[in-house]
Structure 1
């Protein structure tokens, strides 16, 4: 399989049905393309009721319809963007999906959940095949399930019956070594929300130093499985202190700090860009409905539209 380098963005997260099919979403996708991005991870989710439920269901009030997905993929391809289709399962009780799972002795529940998960995933694998998507994500941060090696191998085998392109699994930062079955996917993915700042307002150089042990660890993972490493999610908010906790979305009271976000972006790009075993980035994230550009100065979210971090990405994506 031909190796690739992904200059990408996550697009479409936390939207409800219909939101991909708006003029604002189309305009947003065009602006995403202007950053030099060549890929999107089209990321959407459905639910199970609690973290210990065994049934994954289609929420007719929320979940993206196939019509929505077809529309978004077709618009992206018209712009020359490659698409990684990324269906995700969330728990309606708001417990992080990494906790989804059961005690080891509850074998009947494990088998019921994996059967429901395979049904969920196979539907979108078939859709990804029909739409000629360029990559397919088989899971995102499902940490408590990852020790079920034979079950995940069955998931992968069934997905490959429906989708014949490259597949990737999205592990969580710090948990990558817990996935023993990475040899069965084509690309090793991770949500690389590594806290590389020692304090708020940290410099690029300190962040680069703190990326070094992460790079060494991921290189060993690559050497073990001989698969490229992709940051399927990476980024931090433009708020002071967020490079110390890049995953954070809750501390909305933190003051805006575009420099800290830009430094985080600059540091990871400089450290990983030229590594031959590294497969690229899907930054988190680019919204379907962007704020007015003049509002970028007061926005403390993950979006980089109109911010200093966007200039950093443009420089690498368009000039490197």
Structure 2
């Protein structure tokens, strides 16, 4: 009898541990680089949000969609976008027990969409591959040296991937030689199902700007109904590849029609609608966060000067000092 009791307790404890692990999610924020170093005052509001992960985002720059040379880590960039800045940000957050994803990104002049980067010759493609490799491998070294848990190999680069898939498989091999943590790629919401190299990575990364409602101020239920267009496909995709899905970016602007084209950052869309942002965000959490195939995600986006960021007149993505921040804080606290 004593033996059975011990075995029963072991099974109970084991099941509790499994349940606990199942409830653990990546409750992340995308922490925007600034001109300056950061300190505990900048980190405290992220702690108070109950986030457990931050994405640190260094930037490389190219002149236009056909230009092959990426410029990065220059003294003309903001501190937080450079190697030195990434190291300082990572170390500051890790001192407060955060986990970190390093997510290098490209900025095309005038803000053109990175998914349309396309070279006009083989010579230009080769140069782009060389400069992109340098950019990514340099930050993979930083990620390894700072013991970062997760590294993102690229963000919304669908045409580059469509035209040069072999390069990406080789790049992943080189990253693995340098970096020992987990890997993902940030595919655009309409790109992920044709990205060819998920089997070489640890997470299926998606920038989750799925259109969920055409309404000016959608309700939570309107947006949840919109998610029925995608949820089953996401679950099946995860199950077929046997890999969890991570929303490498998610969020909505506090504007009218927030769920219609969530990727839009056009400043001409400037009619503030805090309710639309809140309802669309709540629908995303209620739709995805408890699913076994879902690993969590990184809120887009969070600025280091919390007290002056966002607010009731702000029409951009940040949840800071808006009703949606209170909702996210409550939701993150559950996990």
Normalising by structure 1, report the TM-score.
0.91
CA deviations over 1:68-117 (Å, ceiling 9, x no partner): 111111111112111000111222253211111225xx333222211211
Who is 2:14 aligned against?
A: none
CA deviations over 1:261-309 (Å, ceiling 9, x no partner): 111110010011111111101010001223437x712122211122111
The 1-side partners of 2:207 and 2:272 are apart by 23
* CA positional deviation for 1:173: 0.8
What's the secondary structure of 2:204's corresponding residue? Answer: strand
Change (3 A) 1:253 1:186: closer
Who is 1:31 aligned against?
A: 45
* CA positional deviation for 1:5: 2.4
The 2-side partners of 1:166 and 1:315 are apart by 28
CA deviations over 1:110-156 (Å, ceiling 9, x no partner): 22211211111110000100000010000000010122221100110
* CA positional deviation for 1:248: 1.9
* CA positional deviation for 1:6: 0.6
What's the secondary structure of 1:213's corresponding residue? Answer: coil
The answer to whether the Cα contact below 8 Å between 1:242 and 1:248 also exists between their aligned partners in 2 is no
Q: Is 1:290 the counterpart of 2:306 in the alignment?
A: yes
Q: Is 1:78 the counterpart of 2:98 in the alignment?
A: no
Q: Is 1:52 the counterpart of 2:61 in the alignment?
A: no
* CA positional deviation for 1:187: 0.5
Residue segments in structure 2 that go unaligned for 5+ positions in a row: 1-20
Larger Rg: 2
The 1-side partners of 2:269 and 2:184 are apart by 35
What's the secondary structure of 1:242's corresponding residue? Answer: coil
What's the secondary structure of 1:146's corresponding residue? Answer: helix
* Candidates 271, 283, 302, aligned match of 1:255: 271
The number of residues matched between the two structures is 310
Runs of 4+ in 1 over 6 A off after TM superposition: none
Change (3 A) 1:243 1:291: farther
The 1-side partners of 2:28 and 2:111 are apart by 28
The 2-side partners of 1:167 and 1:138 are apart by 7
* Candidates 132, 137, 155, aligned match of 2:147: 132
The 2-side partners of 1:201 and 1:40 are apart by 30
* Candidates 298, 304, 307, aligned match of 2:322: 307
* CA positional deviation for 1:226: 1.4
* Candidates 173, 178, 181, aligned match of 1:157: 173
Normalising by structure 2, report the TM-score.
0.87
The 2-side partners of 1:83 and 1:137 are apart by 11
The answer to whether the Cα contact below 8 Å between 1:51 and 1:93 also exists between their aligned partners in 2 is no
The answer to whether the Cα contact below 8 Å between 1:52 and 1:100 also exists between their aligned partners in 2 is yes
What's the secondary structure of 2:297's corresponding residue? Answer: strand
* CA positional deviation for 1:22: 4.5
Q: Is 1:233 the counterpart of 2:246 in the alignment?
A: no
* CA positional deviation for 1:254: 2.7
The 1-side partners of 2:87 and 2:333 are apart by 28
The 2-side partners of 1:107 and 1:184 are apart by 26
Who is 2:27 aligned against?
A: 7
Q: Is 1:269 the counterpart of 2:285 in the alignment?
A: yes
The answer to whether the Cα contact below 8 Å between 2:258 and 2:280 also exists between their aligned partners in 1 is no
Who is 1:88 aligned against?
A: 105
* Candidates 231, 234, 238, aligned match of 1:218: 234
The 2-side partners of 1:175 and 1:247 are apart by 13
